[in-house]
Amino acid sequence: MKKTLLLLLFPALLIQVTHAQSQKKTTSGNPIAEGWYADPEATIFGKEYWVYPTYSAPYNQQVHFDAFSSPDLVNWTKHENVLDSSNVKWAKRAMWAPAIVKKDNKYYFFFGANDIQSDKAYGGIGVAVADKPEGPFKDYLGKPLIDKFYNGAQPIDQFVFKDTDGQYYIIYGGWGHCNIAKLKNDFTGIEPAADGKTFKEITPEGYVEGPVMFIRKGKYYFMWSEGGWTGPDYRVAYAIGNSINGPFKKIGTILQQDATIATGAGHHSVIKVPGKDEWYIVYHRRPLTETDGNHRVTCIDKMTFDKDGLINPVKITNEGVTANKLK
């Protein structure tokens, strides 16, 4: 009786509730968040998916990072200013392309800053630390971790990878060169390899920037971005090796523009659902309506493999992905 009376008195309420139910999201949609965001680092902490992108703006305005979390890949929550230049005194501009790992109950946030063009400039790859994935992150070293050009690689676009033996590596590089180096256990510096070298070049054919690595069925998958980041031909290619040091020979391109949906699809990261052979690729692209190089958005789509373990070309979509709640 009370329910009937309520609906008679407030018919608009019923309309609003019904409309809200019909509007409930069934897919993530692409992009996954409003605003210009690029170079996304995607990972899982506990029962939440996290994405840490570059704030895509002119370099002098790129002085902070936001993050996004989701329990299911469909509904995303924005966390503003997880790190900004006020907590990194040496970073003045062009803070971009983060990487993040959890170690010993701390969260380590690696980033590039200042877009240095030579060894005479000050900047490079830095590290910040926090007690929670949403920060606030603060400068860990008080200086860059890598501040010079080794093997011709600009110190940007770092990816931090934990190998099966527990050793952490940093894989990074712009200007068409990619290096790999062993990180000290406390992330305070670089540790020489068995041969005494610190930075080993593992650049595959076509490499430009944005390295990513993961292991699937005992094989090392090495991925990177090709082309110019402001152009429509930005794309992702990959290779497969038997060890973290390769050698890595390019197999092909798996992510690129679709002239009916978006251009410049690249600079990605990969998520594997724990305990399952289910994979997602998180990347940026440029809407068809945009020509400004910084107008990039962060998107997510499924990534699959064929029977031989090769990566199938990714179909970029406007719908994104359906819910996948972590257990």
Helix (H, G, I), strand (E, B) or coil at 176: coil
Amino acid found at 116 = I
Q: Which residues are designated catalytic?
A: 39, 209
Order of strands, sheet of 64-70, starting from the edge strand that comes earlier in the sequence: 37-45, 48-55, 64-70, 77-84
